[in-house]
Structure 1
């Protein structure tokens, strides 16, 4: 099932189940994306509300508002090498604040304190159950689903400051979406990033140094994972700069495409 958050005509956020079909009474084409409204919290309870909307009639929001985003650095060997680093002996983790999260219809605001903002296409894991000290063998039990992510990074700030809080945590630095896919085998999925239609990144999740289960075990050894938390699993090689006016699109096989425009921060 694909779960989305959306608003209708600037109304309050709602949750919906995404499918390809038609709205009742509307002669839409068979490949039209339809969002069927859900009542209740999408992670806690999934009950159809009886309302349906065409994608063009709603505004997609970030599919989840996480309490925390835990990201993993250098989890693809070729990406570590392109930045002149070795693969770390243990997973390298950092936080992106909830205020950095935006959805697929929002813009990445280029921060005034950087001149080298870069894209990083990633598979994101959405947590569905509370978990602490989760063993590798049971990691799948705490996963709700998966979505696309862009770990937007001010590379010059990252290098200059020596820690990553501002470089990866500025407002709009964590696009997520377009929705959460709950039924997916994440072991070997294609991940791509394009900028203005030009292919920049192309990798597969099978190239991860540490698996999703290993990452969950490692992170939950230190902190409790809560329903709605998000884990970014690392980016393949090919990261590069974006400029104001660019359109950045992150695609993950079996999920969809997350597109965001880059604008100058107002």
Structure 2
């Protein structure tokens, strides 16, 4: 099943199921987060099976007619740095033995088709293609063996980074958590669909194109820390809630490490494609 979040004709948030090219609204749901549970679903029931059992509330509307939102509204966003060997190698760092984690905020997220805004303060705005994991079942101290039971599905992220701010200090947050900078979407593919297609989160092709030129390309089986390990590590120190997002890291080829360096400029088109999920596309615009 494929889910999209969007604005309805009245400007209200809605969650729908994508069938072909049409989106059918699911009643009582806005975006995937812990707050949707009291009326429509309990967190325990936020599963692909429970969502599939819901009767659509309308006859549907064409996907390309909608303004899309980030499909999840996370309480917490966990970002993983240095999780592909190719990216570790290009940074010249040692291979990590424990995941490098940093936060983003819900205010950082934008939807498919929304502009990536270039702030006037930064001159080194970079791209990062990433697989995003969306939590469906809450939990704390989740074991590797139980980790996939807590996953609702997967989507695509572009972890846009202001490199000149990232490297002002040894902490990365000020380069990573700018408002309205991080595309997430366009769809959430539930875990059962990826598994049914024989893909699973550990065997997906991932690529990023800048104005049509491929800048990053890898497969998710190259992750140093896989999805179950990331869930185990993050849930060890905090409770994961429905709608929380884990960004699993980016492969090599980021603009900052190229020679010459490549940074995003006004008018650029950035596309992140992940096998079995789709393509996240955004245009870059200078902040007015």
Distance (Å, rounded) in 1 between the aligned partners of 2:154 and 2:286: 30
User: Does the alignment pair 1:173 with 2:181?
Assistant: yes
Per the alignment, do residues 55 and 215 of structure 1 end up closer, same or farther by CA in structure 2, a change over 3 Å counting?
same
Distance (Å, rounded) in 2 between the aligned partners of 1:84 and 1:202: 19
Task: Give the C-alpha shift of residue 10 in structure 1.
Answer: 5.5
Secondary structure of residue in 1 paired with 2:60: strand
Contact 1:96 1:174 in 2 (8 A): no
Q: Deviations over 1:73-93 (max 9, x none)?
A: 000011011122122220001
Q: Give the structure 1 partner of residue 230 of structure 2.
A: 215
Distance (Å, rounded) in 1 between the aligned partners of 2:181 and 2:76: 14
1:114-263 → structure 2 map (5 Å cutoff): 114-182=122-190, 183-184=193-194, 185-240=200-255, 241-263=263-285
Distance (Å, rounded) in 2 between the aligned partners of 1:156 and 1:81: 20
Secondary structure of residue in 2 paired with 1:80: helix
Contact 1:122 1:232 in 2 (8 A): yes
Distance (Å, rounded) in 2 between the aligned partners of 1:68 and 1:110: 24
The runs of 5 or more residues in structure 2 that have no matched partner are 33-40, 42-49, 195-199, 256-262
Q: Give the structure 2 partner of residue 113 of structure 1.
A: 121
Distance (Å, rounded) in 2 between the aligned partners of 1:10 and 1:91: 43
Task: Pick one of 70, 75, 81 that aligns with 2:78.
Answer: 70
**Number of residue pairs matched by the alignment:** 254
Secondary structure of residue in 2 paired with 1:99: helix
Secondary structure of residue in 2 paired with 1:49: coil
Q: Deviations over 1:4-62 (max 9, x none)?
A: 01123462111111121xxxxxxxxxxxx111111133653532113300112221111
The runs of 5 or more residues in structure 1 that have no matched partner are 21-32
Contact 1:61 1:105 in 2 (8 A): no
Q: Deviations over 1:199-239 (max 9, x none)?
A: 11001000000110001001100111000000000001111
